[in-house]
Amino acid sequence: MTDLFEFDNAIREKYIYFCGVDEAGRGPLAGDVYAAAVVFDKNVIIEGINDSKKISEKKREILFDEIISKASDYSIATSSIAEIEEINILNAAMLAMKRAIEGLKKVPEIALIDGNKSPLVSCETMTIIKGDANSQSIAAASILAKVARDRYMRQIDVEFPEYHFSKHKGYGTKLHYQMIEEHGICEYHRPSFLKKVLNKNGSK
């Protein structure tokens, strides 16, 4: 945790106001893709923060509230299933990141982006491979995006309980594929991710 905090402090030697940015939901077969941007003031340390994939769902929910309470600014944004289908998932994820950055109260001097590709935004950007394991602000953004998306998938589960979205969150698990085989796809599925299944089943 200290390493993540120190990484951000090193950024502060050159930039006063910056955000960490990450996305959640590039891989699933269903649902919007989410992104978040988080800004922390100097000396804010959140214990236990890490890459969202390495933290339990219960812990992520607790950290979500702590991040929101301690961040000087944050923004959560999405890119829709229709946009994913139209411009592909990578570009849709970049669009969600762009919207998250633009949703902040003011434009950051630089946005620290998890991964190796950056959205086109009005501020400077820095891409960081495994950024959610290196930067506290990126790790925080990872948690906000993941928790927000998981909550959204649980809402979809209420509407379409036969797919068990609350269990797999839209990812391509054995259970999810079984439910698609049984029920076909719903409005929240991404057809471009399911071409083989749809062709096999005659697009039922």
Is 102 part of a structural domain of the chain?
Answer: yes
Q: What is the C-alpha to C-alpha distance for residues 130 and 74, in angstroms, rounded to an integer?
A: 20
Is 200 part of a structural domain of the chain?
Answer: no
Q: Is the pLDDT reported for residue 165 higher than 90?
A: yes
Q: Which residues form the domain of 59?
A: 2-154
- Structurally, how many domains does the chain consist of? 1
Q: Is the pLDDT reported for residue 108 higher than 70?
A: yes
Q: Which residues contact 191 (CB under 8 A, 6 or more apart)?
A: 85, 185, 198
Is 203 part of a structural domain of the chain?
Answer: no
Can you tell me whether residue 1 is helix, strand or coil?
Answer: coil
pLDDT tens sequence across 8-44? 999 999 999 999 999 999 999 999 999 999 999 998 9
Is 41 part of a structural domain of the chain?
Answer: yes
Q: Tokens 């990484």 appear where? A: 7
Is 177 part of a structural domain of the chain?
Answer: no
What pLDDT sits at residue 2? 59
Domain harbouring 76, CATH code: 3.30.420.10
Is 93 part of a structural domain of the chain?
Answer: yes
Is 146 part of a structural domain of the chain?
Answer: yes
Is 182 part of a structural domain of the chain?
Answer: no
pLDDT tens sequence across 41-70? 998 999 888 766 788 999 999 999 999 999
